[in-house]
Chains A and B, each alone.
Chain A
Amino acid sequence: NAGVTQTPKFQVLKTGQSMTLQCAQDMNHNSMYWYRQDPGMGLRLIYYSASEGTTDKGEVPNGYNVSRLNKREFSLRLESAAPSQTSVYFCASRETGRSVETQYFGPGTRLLVL
């Protein structure tokens, strides 16, 4: 049982390049989330998907797009990367309607934008 997996683990981009961060969960959860963690800022919600086919903006959505490909997968896309998007990105999933304690996080993707 892998839980929440994220790829890649680490990526270096040049300003203006695009990339997609992948996330998959094998717990049959309805809700999935993307967060970024920056020094001195804690974790901030970028986007979330309460169920397959729906997505909603979180606290810091600008510069990102998301796709809920199916129930298992939720991807985060940077169309034109900027140095301000250098961060550690975490994906999480939760069974909607269950307690908030059931939010599980992936190991993170460390992104450096030069």
Chain B
Amino acid sequence: DQQVKQNSPSLSVQEGRISILNCDYTNSMFDYFLWYKKYPAEGPTFLISISSIKDKNEDGRFTVFLNKSAKHLSLHIVPSQPGDSAVYFCAASVGTGNQFYFGTGTSLTVIP
């Protein structure tokens, strides 16, 4: 059973606009969340993270929001750029241990 879900397989956004990628989880024990970005024929690369003691973390154009009561997190990219076109995975873990649970990914296309 998928513990981390990304219900939107794809998303298209105009350059300069905001991209919002969503992720839901079912395991209330998860307390650390990450977003990874993946280009074709490459491995995922870390983008941004948030721990459950926070509800927002910002890094440049990327902001992750966490709503623990809803078991929901989202990644906002503002402004979106064509180079942001990639597949984005959210992942969750209990603490910073070795078991990471990944979502199914959302393919973002930023249209110039």
Contacts and interface: CB of A to CB of B under 8 A. Distances in A.
B63 interface: no
A4 B32 contact: no
A58 B2 contact: no
Nearest to B90: A42
B101 A59 contact: yes
Nearest to B105: A42
Contact of A33 (B32, B42, B98, B105): B98
Contacts, number: 60
B34 A101 contact: yes
Contact of A106 (B2, B43, B49, B96): B43
A43 B102 contact: yes
Contacts of A108: 41-43
Contacts of A104: 43, 45
Given A42-B2, A42-B4, A43-B89, A100 B100 contact: yes
B89 A48 contact: no
Interface string B30-52: 00101000000111111001000
A92 interface: yes
A42 B92 CA distance: 12
Nearest to A50: B98
B4 A100 contact: no
B99 interface: yes
Interface of A: 4, 31, 33, 35, 40-45, 48, 50, 56, 58-59, 90, 92, 99-108
9 closest cross-chain pairs (CB), A and B: A105-B43, A42-B102, A43-B102, A42-B104, A100-B96, A101-B46, A105-B44, A48-B98, A42-B103
